[in-house]
Structure 1
Amino acid sequence: MKGLIENRFGLLALVMVAVAALYGVAFATRPAPVTVRPPQAVKAPVESVSAVCPAPGGTRLSVVTPPGGQGPGSAVVAGLAGAEGGDGKGGNGKGDGKDARPVSTVDQPGLLWQKEIPAGGIPLAVDATGSMAAGLESAQTARETSGPQRGLAGVRCVEPGADAWFVGPGPASADVTLYLANADGAAADVSISMYSGEGPVLSERGSGMILQPGEHRAIQLRDLAPSPLVMGLEVSTATGRVAAAIRTVFGKGRGVDWLPVATAPATSVVVPGIPGTAGQRELYVTAPGEQDTVVNVKAVLKDGSYALKNKETLDVPAGSTAVLDLSTGIGGQPAALVLTSDVPVTAGLKITGTGSSQDVAFTAGAPSIDLGSVVADGRAARKQTSRLVLSAPFAQAAVKVQLLPKEGTAPPPVEVRLPAGRTREMKLTPPPGGGTGFSVVVQPEPGSGPVYGGRVLDETTTDGQMVTAQPLALARTWALVPPTADSPSAVLP
């Protein structure tokens, strides 16, 4: 019996040795572990863009695409399909499409196309594909030397979207008109919300409207809310997309211009592109939420970045818009403003020119131009000057600036370096042989810190300075395509 037990234990030991040997061989010859990397977004060139020029009648229309696009492409400028024009008093425009004929077709990247558009008419749509799409920009600029609308008034032709913010004077202080256009093939369910100095005066519940494909409206805001002296206004859609723009007319001798689209409310907002000319500077800040806030204000000037004496903060009650006069703080200096708050805010700034007849311009909270920026309309003549105001609020930065003429060869780009916390203003000179009109391309260099900026156009007249401004927008050159991965949810409900 004892020998039998010993044999059984011996057999078990042999089995264990064999199993261990097999495990060792398997461990030694196992394949290397596969490293699974999370899928990354892919940067792809934009192949199709569209924009709407809200009221181009009596203006100069500018369209440009930066050089570098490969293959065929074109940008078609045409009347908004299906629209005949609104009445300017809250009416709408719906038609049979007879005004949708093309105004022009542009097919040369790297050259500026411009055309004077006669007074009257309808909104124009700019649709680009192929090599003309990546980075395409368009703008309209009006110039009136007398009358109630004397001044320079310019605006980017805006891309349709689901949400847009504007901050500036209200309908009690100026003739404020909201332009809406539906350039898509589906109806848009549009709502308007307004925040005055006293609080919300217009909610999305009572301001809804449906814009059919090709329809456009010009809405006098005093018909919706006549009392606000200042306002923050949101245009949003529940379904579909809409192109929105706002024009302000202060009356004879007081100026006219468009409000640029402002960044959506955030706890940190940069308002760039403030020119180094004399005149009044008024900051408007909107806090659309349900919580009061104190906004910290810091100026980024050519010699440093710091809070302005006695203007370090601005109290903004919940759901309202507040104003801060910065004329004695940044007047006469090129600048940007950095606003920080515990709750999301959005902002705009009014620039008033000098002279017996004043003109106004506006800038607003804007994103950093990480992928570059394009300005369609620049000009310089004997009495007209274009300036580029660039700021690096947070870290040192470097960009390349290139001017694109209406004809001829574009000159090589110029490198511009910005120390951290500084603003620099550049006077732009037209490229040789290209006439007085040109476009501007600003491209950050690799490793550059965030850059914010704006283009300012002014003209000296016997009555006083005329001025318009445009914050730099992020170029629509590249699109980040979301990552994809194998998943049962792709085929299973």
Structure 2
Amino acid sequence: MKSLIENRFSLLGLVLVALLALYGVAFATQPKAAAKPAPGPQKVPVVSVTAVCPDPAETDVGVITPPGGGGQGATTLLTGEKTLASLDTPGVLWHEKVPAKSGPLLVTSGGSMAAGLEAEQTRRETSGDQRGLAGVRCVEPVASTWLVGPGPAAADVTLHLTNADAAPAIAEVMVYSGEGPVVSDSGGVLTLKPGESRTVKVKDLAPSPLVMALEVRTSSGRVAAAARAIMRGGRGVDWLPVSAAPATRVVVPGIPGGGGKRELFVASVGESDTLVEVKALTPDGTYALKGRELVEVPAGSVATLDLSTGIGGQPSALLLTSDTPIVAGLAATGTGAKGDVAFTAGAAPIDLGSVVADNRTGKKKNSRLLLTAPDAAGKVRVQVLPRKGGAPEPFEVAVAGSRTKEVKLPEVDGAFAVVVLPLPGSGPVYGGRVMDERVKSGLLLTTQPLAAGRMWALVPPITESVAAVLP
């Protein structure tokens, strides 16, 4: 019996050897296919967008899809169960004041109305603790959001969280201060039901920081996150714009000219201390700030740098470089006892274009673009899309390399949107929109970094590969 089993296994071994030999011959003699370059990601138009305006009650909201899209599409504006509007025409600006006691405004768009969709809310107050212009780009639900600015000891900071998806989301709020990471008693972990919105006072998570960097990250689902800061002592109010993800090279655009305080916030989110090199990009060129060329940021903490005498008086941007990833933001405060505050933050280049959905000019109101080309020269096309009346002709703007250029927007009757598109051959361009208004009590001010337009998506290539089924 033992001999019979051994013979059977010997026969099986011979069969396997023969099959391997045949495979080797076939592989060696097969014709060699011409080498093909690996396909890259495909650029396709965005066909679905969701954005959340966090607190639009009694606030002016602008929503627009840039012209140029073809085919069918629709945009819907919802507050709770109520539909505020349905839009189906690209290039037409919807701009209205949202009724009081409205929850977050959910903007959903599909088809031809999705590519480039932009929404923004702006609130104007001329008295009280909330005096000022407070504007914010309506944000998308994402897995991670960074916000940088004053902490609860310097401002009343409220975090607005919305789960716009149909599944629950679990979000963790991480707060970094000048002394390092802050661990709250609750751990900063929140569960949001489908469609649920929630406001959180940052002082309940971290009571004492004067400055902070804050990350909202999800372990499940996606969350739209925004934060509003009401400065102590009646020093203005505004929303903190979303900061670009941590990187070793950060551009902070859209710093308005004029007098007042300019305070930089830099957070090191790595595990080691870092030195951050700071350069200013102005209309006259790029230069290191004397005596403030470097700022040391301990690991897991936030450092500040007063740049009032370095960049005050002229429009500018900042170029920050470091050895470890950082996030950054800046507070600009107007002059006088009733100066308003505005915030900008690290941003991405507008390689795919950018849209700002709410701007005003005329009657003591002013809107302008601050465009920066930190490397090679840039060139963009600017198109103004008014809420009513005909659109003026688009115009081109050249930005010299390593410089910032201020572009005044034309006087328009009523609200308007602005579309900025880079032209062929342009170097990377960063930007910000500054809007202000002169009132009896002083200057009202808000800024918004130009965000990359939601126009295109990069889809990875699909190829045949055994890696799909084999480790």
Query: Residues of 2 paired with 1:453 and 1:54: CA distance?
Result: 23
- TM alignment of 1:397-476, pairs within 5 A: 397-431=378-412, 435-476=413-454
Local SS of the residue matching 2:191: strand
Corresponding residue of 2:19:
none
Q: Distance in 1 between matches of 2:238 and 2:459?
A: 36
In the alignment, does 2:73 pair up with 1:73? yes
CA distance in 2 between counterparts of 1:171 and 1:205 reads 17
Question: Whole-Å Cα distance in 1 between the matches of residues 89 and 144 of structure 2?
Answer: 32
TM value normalised by structure 1: 0.87
In the aligned structure 1, how far is the partner of 2:327 from the partner of 2:184? 17
d(CA) in 2 for partners of 1:467 and 1:173? Answer: 19
1:161 is displaced (CA, Å) by 0.2
Partner of 1:488: 466
- CA displacement at 1:492 relative to structure 2: 6.5
Q: Where does 1:113-262 land on structure 2 (aligned, <5 Å)?
A: 113-202=94-183, 206-251=187-232, 253-262=234-243
Alignment of 1:7-156 (within 5 A): 34-79=34-79, 99-156=80-137
Letter matched to residue 44 of structure 1: V
Cα deviation per residue 1:408-431 (whole Å; 9 max; x = unaligned)? 432332111111101000111145
Contact 1:192 1:203 in 2 (8 A): no
CA contact (8 A) 2:76 2:109 kept: yes
Assess if the C-alpha contact under 8 Å between 1:147 and 1:252 holds in 2. no
| Alpha-carbon distance in structure 2 between the residues aligned to 1:348 and 1:477 | 26
Alignment-mate amino acid for residue 173 of structure 2: I
CA distance in structure 1 between the aligned counterparts of 2:77 and 2:233, rounded to whole angstroms? 33
Q: Which amino acid aligns with 2:435?
A: L
SS, match of residue 109 in structure 2: strand
Q: For residue 223 of structure 1, give the secondary structure of its aligned residue in structure 2.
A: helix
Shift of the alpha carbon at 1:118?
Answer: 2.3
- 1:200-349 to 2 correspondences below 5 Å: 200-202=181-183, 206-251=187-232, 253-349=234-330
Code of the residue aligned with 2:371 in structure 1: it is: L
Q: Given residue 457 of structure 2, which amino acid in structure 1 is its aligned partner?
A: A
User: Distance between the aligned counterparts of 1:204 and 1:373, measured in 2?
Assistant: 40
* Runs (5+) with no aligned partner, structure 1: 1-29, 80-98
Deviations 1:212-265 (A, max 9, x none): 101111101111111100001000000100000000001453100000000111
CA contact (8 A) 1:256 1:359 kept: yes
Contact 1:191 1:204 in 2 (8 A): no
Higher mean alpha-carbon deviation, 103-112 vs 327-336, is at: 103-112
Tell me, yes or no, if the aligned pair for 1:275 and 1:335 is still in contact at 8 Å: yes
Which secondary structure state, in structure 1, belongs to the residue aligned with residue 310 of structure 2?
A: helix
Distance apart, 1:356 and its partner CA: 2.8
TM-score (normalised: structure 2) = 0.91
- Taking the aligned partners of 2:55 and 2:372, their CA distance within structure 1 comes to 31
Greater CA drift, 355-364 or 160-169: 355-364
CA shift digits 1:269-299 (9 cap, x unpaired): 0000111222110000000222111100000
Shift in Å, 1:33: 5.4
Residues 275, 425 of structure 1: 8 Å contact kept: no
The one-letter code of the counterpart of 2:463 is A
State the distance in 1 between where 2:33 and 2:71 align.
43
- Distance in 2 (CA, whole Å) between partners of 1:175 and 1:343 is 30
Q: Following TM superposition, by how much is the alpha carbon of 1:383 offset from its aligned partner in structure 2, in angstroms?
A: 0.8
Q: In the aligned structure 1, how far is the partner of 2:333 from the partner of 2:182?
A: 27
Whether the 8 Å contact between 2:76 and 2:83 is mirrored in structure 1 is yes
Q: Aligned-pair distance for 1:490?
A: 4.1
The answer on whether the counterparts of 2:388 and 2:414 sit within 8 Å (CA) in structure 1 is no
Deviations 1:60-97 (A, max 9, x none): 01001100010111110001xxxxxxxxxxxxxxxxxx
Partner of 1:353: 334
Q: Secondary structure at the match of 1:189?
A: strand
Q: Is the 8 A contact 1:355 1:463 kept in 2?
A: no
Aligned to 2:26: none
Contact 1:193 1:204 in 2 (8 A): no
Residues 1:478 and 2:441 are matched in the alignment: no
Q: CA deviation at 1:489?
A: 4.2
Query: How many aligned residue pairs are there?
Result: 442
Confirm or deny: 8 A CA contact 1:395 1:449 kept in the other structure.
yes
Letter in 2 for 1:108: T
Give the superposition deviation at 1:381: 2.0
What letter matches 1:471 in structure 2? P
State the match for 2:23 in structure 1. none
SS in 1 for 2:309: helix
Q: Could you give the per-residue CA deviations for residues 155-209 of structure 1, whole angstroms, max 9, x where no partner exists?
A: 0100000000011100011100000000000111100111101111137981111
Mapped contact 2:184–2:206 kept (Cα < 8 A): no
Contact 1:183 1:213 in 2 (8 A): yes
CA contact (8 A) 1:430 1:436 kept: no
Partner Cα distance (2:288, 2:54) in 1:
38
Q: SS in structure 1 opposite 2:393? A: coil
Residue identity opposite 1:40 in structure 2: G
SS of 2:216's equivalent in the other structure is strand
Q: Is the 8 A contact 1:300 1:393 kept in 2?
A: yes
Residue 379 of structure 1, CA deviation: 0.8
2:22 is aligned to none
- Cα deviation for residue 355 of structure 1 reads 2.7
- CA–CA separation in structure 2 for the residues paired with 1:317 and 1:31: 60
| Percent identity of equivalent pairs | 59
Which structure has the larger Rg over C-alpha atoms?
1
Offset of 1:491 from its aligned partner?
5.9
For 2:51, give the aligned amino acid: A
Rounded to whole Å, the distance in 2 between the matches of 1:402 and 1:441 is 5
Distance 1:39 1:370 in 2: 21
